[in-house]
Structure 1
Amino acid sequence: MREAPDPPSGPAAGERRRDAGATRRRLLDAARDLFAERGYEGATVREIAERAGANQALLFRYFGSKQGLLTEVVAQGGLEQLRATPPEELFETALRSMLTSSAAGSSDRSLEVYLRSIGRGDEATGTLRELGERYQSALAELSGAKDGALRADLAMAWLLGIGLMRTVVAREPLAGADPDTVCRLVVGALDHLWSAPQEDASQMIAPEEG
């Protein structure tokens, strides 16, 4: 009776492990760029695998599903950026990343994925909503006012609106504007949002009745 072959070991096994890691990274990179370009629904598993130069079966082996792939793309991009960035630097970091990430191969295109995918498919909504809520929570820390969450939402609305006009609508002159110029104008104006005093409702004068 023939003995079963020994399990792979040595350089050949190590090489396969390295190849698996490289394939996984290529799938993540391809998914990140296609989700940013076409949205979650518009990017197919076949296209992601083809861009990565991998078999579709490997995508499901490594990530379980297309939704699982999206979750990891968002975790490696936006959520990792949130963990690594101080709240006071987050808005400018996210804005600059979005302004400079229109080219494929950029490390974080999470907000582009968010813009093109949120609200367009129930499968992706939970993952993307978590990303938006995490940003809102971090930005809310920048104001000591009771309406800090509202101010954070206004900041997010401005951030995503800029992304929409620049990367999705591609409206000039914003689409071709220098990122440094945009950051200087936006971040300078945003300082007032964090520091503006909250209006005291008790001091508001009610309109006179006629």
Structure 2
Amino acid sequence: MTTQPAPESGTGATEARPRDSAATRRALLTAARHLFATVGYDATTVRAIADRAGVNQALLFRYFGNKEGVFAEAVMGDAMQLLADGPRPDLLEHTLAGILADEGGQGAETLMAVLRATGSAQVAEEVRSRLGAAYSSAFAALVDTDDPTDATVRADLLLAWLLGIVLMRSVLRPGPLQDAEAVTEHVLRAAHTLLGRQPRP
């Protein structure tokens, strides 16, 4: 049985409020994901995460151990979950849905945090080795070819395109790329050609 921590107050501008342990974890993860996406891993501090979540920073250490721990769950965990959600043949479709769901949605924020983390000496290698390999392998499995090298190239091109869309949508706001329906239509048509698969009727 998990013992719930005593309510803690925030240390920043966010209004203090009591929380149970589950709500506190969610608030910390949401705050961390946003900061990792907007200012990057290196510039994000434990105090800034706690202040944005409206809790004492001691709770971050209690639940996640350190900044690396909260990054692993808020960013790495969420990015891996995008791969796990839904049947594998629908990977491209549900990945697109996740990053285009709404402006600043969790899927887009997670991938922005991944992009920014690639510039950090502390976590870049983990991002490349774990997430890069996982996404590349998952998309390569969708390629209609018997050449594994060609499949990897196509998969990496698709991944680079998706990450570029996330980046452009975050920079050019408002803009034509905010039209999720139009972006989805064009990406799916081009991606099916790149993957060598017939578009679905």
Give the TM-score range, shorter chain: 0.7 to 0.9
Distance in 1 (alpha carbons) for counterparts of 2:175 and 2:57: 40
Match of residue 151, structure 1, among 151, 154, 167: 154
Kindly indicate whether structure 1 or structure 2 has the higher relative contact order, using CA contacts under 8 Å at least 6 residues apart: 1
SS of the counterpart of 2:142?
coil
1:126 CA drift (Å): 3.3
TM-score, length of structure 1 as denominator length: 0.76
Determine whether 1:83 maps to 2:92.
no
Distance in 1 (alpha carbons) for counterparts of 2:21 and 2:36: 22
Unaligned runs of 5+ in 2: 8-18
Distance in 1 (alpha carbons) for counterparts of 2:163 and 2:63: 31
Partners of 1:71 and 1:127 within 8 A in 2 = no
Alignment RMSD:
2.4
Q: 1:208 maps to which residue?
A: none
TM-score, length of structure 2 as denominator length: 0.79
Distance 1:113-1:190 versus aligned 2 partners, 3 A rule = same
SS of the counterpart of 1:102?
coil
Distance in 1 (alpha carbons) for counterparts of 2:131 and 2:143: 20
Distance 1:59-1:172 versus aligned 2 partners, 3 A rule = closer
- Rg: which structure is higher? 1
Letter of the structure 2 residue corresponding to residue 127 of structure 1: E
Partners of 2:50 and 2:57 within 8 A in 1 = yes
Letter of the structure 1 residue corresponding to residue 112 of structure 2: E
Q: 1:191 maps to which residue?
A: 192
Identity %: 42
Partners of 1:31 and 1:48 within 8 A in 2 = yes
1:14 CA drift (Å): 6.1
Query: How many aligned residue pairs are there?
Result: 180
Partners of 1:92 and 1:187 within 8 A in 2 = yes
Distance in 1 (alpha carbons) for counterparts of 2:125 and 2:20: 32
Partners of 2:99 and 2:106 within 8 A in 1 = no
SS of the counterpart of 1:41?
coil
SS of the counterpart of 1:142?
coil
SS of the counterpart of 1:122?
coil
Q: 2:168 maps to which residue?
A: 165
Letter of the structure 1 residue corresponding to residue 37 of structure 2: A
1:42 CA drift (Å): 2.5
